[in-house]
């Protein structure tokens, strides 16, 4: 057994950095095995590849037909990507695996995605056989890929939409609207049960951004929790459970841009043109089992006043001793909040309410948000009708044909204009400072936009390498269809938890999983009469699995901000929340298995009844877990200063 002196005492992050460097070296060395493979195939006039290509394109068909002769003329790009997949085989997985490894080891999603793109371009460039030229081509093709990505009209629209929603959040916050919502919810709280429900409802009102939710609801509701002796761990849990899970499933949010982009890449990779990304997104909502059940579980915990595991210990501590913050934690000696002086993290672009707003007005949030929602609905319809050639169309057809990138930008801009006018009219800020606040809001979305550009580019790189052409034949013919969504959820959940990024997880898996699901459906036409239904089910598994990681990973931005906003130690938050998050994850796996089995039996025509039945099944399991494992937590009566529902010998009254 070998022993390296000093290794035991080496900091964990240094070890991870060393492993990251090793991973990079190996990942950039392995593609050298494929040097010149493309040139050799070209010399042999695609011998062997032509038969392979025709077999691939004939998946799900009774006979192998000659697709190559037609596609080489009409669609040479598809043939080139397939050729890369044929030549590289397992080599097509190097770039996405490197991205995942680096995200886990470095916790830096930007660096991971960038090196993933660079590695993919390096791998493809080596096929020509000139190593020196490949070095230059890898860099040049990567950078040109970034430019091409931003130049795309859809991508540019999404970036503008994300930025303008960040601007709206800053304006509403500056006008005291967010604080007004929180204070209005405080009036609902009459005890621990209603207080927790009020926090849950408040988070729904700030549905469009998980950062804003975590940074605003937590500080506003601390006083309510302290009043009724609700632990800060429980506050952080409720805020965290209603941040990303809500923003990830609503049509108007800072998340939808990323989700639509990734779905679009997956549809393009699979060659699916019969549905739009927005169609798929909307259809996945009933199958986002983790999102929906996490939200339901929070409400069930609040209404039943039952807890288990570390969370129950935290609640009992708060109820019996009045210590809402865990004694000994780094936030134990928390200073009282000065609502006017306190500044929320500037790097997220969230401002404090202006001192001129007294008292904070709910309408300063509700009116701009209402303008955002109503204008988005109207613009989705008019834009869709215009895309269909004008006239009047059904809502479903119009929404499915609308350009979401343009609509969300237009709706967000209108809401911002209304917010600036309102703030100026109320003399909360001058026109100049209002515009400065609007511009400041873009800061909150800068990181998201960078990740978006890198995510688009890594998706395009994976597609260019022909990853799907290797994976689909290897998996589609042997996969058990009803198990695939559950397995994909598990893989996405583990990845997101380990890396702390939902965006990165979506960017890597969606472009691969949609073509995979489509091919599996085509190979099983007796089960999946409508292949899109299976694509929807599988896509939802990736999207909701990514949410799991963003929700409870200790290195997730939202997790960190939720604990910070709630005034709770990060370790206490993660330690108390994880048992609840894992409970929902296990139930989600059961739901995906159930959906897969029901779809295999009933067919794709029953997709919506399947969603309803499975969600009902999941909700029953949530309640059953609370009734079986959870135990009642006593309530603190503010008027009498006594605990109610506690066993006499365990009751500990404090002044």
Chain segment 481-540, per-residue pLDDT in tens: 889 999 899 888 887 876 667 877 888 788 888 988 998 888 888 888 889 999 999 999
CA 250 – CA 31 distance, rounded (Å)? 41
Q: What string of DSSP letters covers 132-147?
A: HHHHHHHHHHHHHHHH
Which DSSP letter does residue 190 get? S
Task: Say if residue 69's pLDDT is above 90.
Answer: no
pLDDT of residue 215: 64
Question: Confidence class of residue 59 from pLDDT cuts 50, 70 and 90?
Answer: low
Q: Give the pTM.
A: 0.69
Which of 73-87, 385-399, 536-550 has the least mean pLDDT? 385-399
* Token duo for residue 610: 């399947």
Chain segment 140-194, per-residue pLDDT in tens: 999 998 998 888 887 888 788 878 878 887 888 888 887 777 677 667 777 888 8
Task: Say if residue 7's pLDDT is above 60.
Answer: no
Q: What is the rounded average pLDDT of the residues 63-70?
A: 81
pLDDT of residue 341: 37
Query: Residue 344, by phi and psi: left (phi above 0), alpha (psi -120 to 50) or beta?
Result: beta
Which of 116-125, 205-214, 643-652 has the least mean pLDDT? 643-652
CA 580 – CA 241 distance, rounded (Å)? 10
pLDDT of residue 584: 96
447 or 138, which is more confident? 138
- Report whether 437 contacts 351 (CB < 8 A): yes
CA 477 – CA 418 distance, rounded (Å)? 55
Q: What is the rounded average pLDDT of the residues 303-324?
A: 91
Burial of 162 (0-12, 13-18, 19+ CB in 10 A): buried
CA nearest to 595, candidates 235, 215, 284? 284
- Write the CA distances from 644 to 191, 194, 228, 254, 627, integer angstroms: 11, 15, 12, 42, 20
pLDDT of residue 141: 92
* Token duo for residue 292: 């929906």
- The distance in angstroms from the start CA to the end CA of the chain is 60
Question: Confidence class of residue 346 from pLDDT cuts 50, 70 and 90?
Answer: very low
CA 365 – CA 644 distance, rounded (Å)? 37
pLDDT of residue 452: 75
- Report whether 301 contacts 197 (CB < 8 A): no
Q: Is the dihedral of CA 543, 544, 550, 553 positive or negative?
A: negative
pLDDT of residue 348: 41
Question: Confidence class of residue 6 from pLDDT cuts 50, 70 and 90?
Answer: very low
Q: Across all residues in the chain, what is the average pLDDT?
A: 82
pLDDT of residue 476: 61
Q: Determine the Cα angle at 550 with ends 545 and 551, to 5°.
A: 90
Task: Say if residue 75's pLDDT is above 60.
Answer: yes
Q: 312 preceded by cis ω (within 30°)?
A: no
Q: What is the rounded average pLDDT of the residues 318-345?
A: 62
Chain segment 254-311, per-residue pLDDT in tens: 687 778 888 988 898 788 888 888 889 999 999 999 999 999 999 999 999 999 999 9
- The domain segmentation of the chain, as residue ranges, is 1-151
Gyration radius of the chain over CA positions: 26
Strand segments, DSSP code E, in 86-217 are: none
In the three-class reduction of DSSP (H, G, I as helix; E, B as strand; rest coil), residue 637 is classed as strand
- Report whether 616 contacts 608 (CB < 8 A): no
Question: Confidence class of residue 606 from pLDDT cuts 50, 70 and 90?
Answer: confident
């Amino acid at each position: 057994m070998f022993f390296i002196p000093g290794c035991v005492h080496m900091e964990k992050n240094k070890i991870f950095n060393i492993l990251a460097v090793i991973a990079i070296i190996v990942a950039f060395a392995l593609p050298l095995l494929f040097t010149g493979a493309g040139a050799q195939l070209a010399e042999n006039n695609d011998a062997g590849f032509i038969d392979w290509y025709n077999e691939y394109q004939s998946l799900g068909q009774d006979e192998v037909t000659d697709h190559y002769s037609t596609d080489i003329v009409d669609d040479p790009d598809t043939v080139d990507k397939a050729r890369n997949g044929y030549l590289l085989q397992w080599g097509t997985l190097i770039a996405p695996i490197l991205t995942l490894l680096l995200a886990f080891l470095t916790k830096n999603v930007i660096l991971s995605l960038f090196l993933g793109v660079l590695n993919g371009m390096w791998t493809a460039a080596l096929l020509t056989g000139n190593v020196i030229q490949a070095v230059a081509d890898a860099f040049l093709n990567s950078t040109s890929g970034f430019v091409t990505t931003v130049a795309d009209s859809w991508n540019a629209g999404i970036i503008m939409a994300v930025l303008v929603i960040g601007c709206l959040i800053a304006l509403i916050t500056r006008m005291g609207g967010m604080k007004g919502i929180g204070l209005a919810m405080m009036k609902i709280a009459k005890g621990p049960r209603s207080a927790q429900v009020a926090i849950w409802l408040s988070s729904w009102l700030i549905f469009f951004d998980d950062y804003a939710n975590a940074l605003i609801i937590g500080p506003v509701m601390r006083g309510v929790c302290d009043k009724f002796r609700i632990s800060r761990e429980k506050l952080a849990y409720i805020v965290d459970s209603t941040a990303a899970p809500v923003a990830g499933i609503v049509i108007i949010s800072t998340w939808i841009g990323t989700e639509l982009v990734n779905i679009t890449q997956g549809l393009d990779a699979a060659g699916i043109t019969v549905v739009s990304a927005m169609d798929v997104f909307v259809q996945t909502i009933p199958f986002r089992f983790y999102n929906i059940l996490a939200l339901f579980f929070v409400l069930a915990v609040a209404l039943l006043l039952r807890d288990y595991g570390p969370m129950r210990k935290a609640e009992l501590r708060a109820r019996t001793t009045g210590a809402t913050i865990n004694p000994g934690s780094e936030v134990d000696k928390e200073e009282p909040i000065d609502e006017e002086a306190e500044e929320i993290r500037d790097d997220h672009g969230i401002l404090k309410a202006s001192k001129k707003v007294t008292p904070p007005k709910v309408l300063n949030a509700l009116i701009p948000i209402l303008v955002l929602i109503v204008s988005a609905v109207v613009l989705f319809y008019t834009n869709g009708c215009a895309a269909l050639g004008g006239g009047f169309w059904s809502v479903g057809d119009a929404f499915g044909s609308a350009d979401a990138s343009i609509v969300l930008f237009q709706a967000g801009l209108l809401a911002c204009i209304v917010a600036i006018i309102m703030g100026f009219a109320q003399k909360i800020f001058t026109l100049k400072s209002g515009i400065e606040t609007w511009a400041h809001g873009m800061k909150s979305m800068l990181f998201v936009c960078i990740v978006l550009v890198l995510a688009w580019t890594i998706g395009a790189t994976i597609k260019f390498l022909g990853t799907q052409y290797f994976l689909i034949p290897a998996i589609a013919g042997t996969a058990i269809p009803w198990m695939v969504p559950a397995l994909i959820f598990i893989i996405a959940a583990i990845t997101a938890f380990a890396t702390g990024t939902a965006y990165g997880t979506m960017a890597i898996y969606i472009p691969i999983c949609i073509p995979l699901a489509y091919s599996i459906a085509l190979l099983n036409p007796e089960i999946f009469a409508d292949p899109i239904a299976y694509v929807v089910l599988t896509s939802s598994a990736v999207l909701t699995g990514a949410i799991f990681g963003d929700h409870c990973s200790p290195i997730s931005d939202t997790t960190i901000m939720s604990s910070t906003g709630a005034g709770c130690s990060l370790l206490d938050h993660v330690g108390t929340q994880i048992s609840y998050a894992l409970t929902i994850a296990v139930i989600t796996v059961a739901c995906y298995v159930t959906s897969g089995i029901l779809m295999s039996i009933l067919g794709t025509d029953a997709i919506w009844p399947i969603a309803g039945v499975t969600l009902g099944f999941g909700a029953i399991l949530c309640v059953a877990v609370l009734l079986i494992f959870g135990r009642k937590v006593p309530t603190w009566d503010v008027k009498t200063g006594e605990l109610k529902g506690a066993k006499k010998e365990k009751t500990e009254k404090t002044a």
